[in-house]
Amino acid sequence: MEHTSAAWLTEAAMAAHRQGSGDLLRVVLIVMFFGCILTAWFLLRGYKRKDE
């Protein structure tokens, strides 16, 4: 059996289709969630007023 990059890519795509996105999707969603929180904190901290 000959292994070429096209055959490997096709096999990987078929395996991903059978298994679903699962762990990768979960990691992406968690990173996006914490990234949004961090971005909001960074942007909104500039609006804090100092009472002097």
DSSP the chain: ----HHHHHHHHHHHHHHH-SHHHHHHHHHHHHHHHHHHHHHHHGGGPPP--
- Residue 1's Cα: distance from chain center in Å? 35
Is residue 35 in a domain? yes
Is residue 7 in a domain? no
Is residue 34 in a domain? yes
The number of folded domains in the chain is: 1
Question: What domain range is 38 assigned to?
Answer: 20-52
Is residue 10 in a domain? no
Is residue 13 in a domain? no
pLDDT at residue 30, rounded to an integer: 95
Cα distance between residue 28 and residue 25, in whole Å: 5
Q: What tens digit of pLDDT does each residue of 1-49 get?
A: 455 666 666 776 676 666 666 778 889 999 999 999 999 998 988 777 6
Is residue 14 in a domain? no
pLDDT at residue 10, rounded to an integer: 73
The pTM for the full model equals 0.49
Is residue 6 in a domain? no
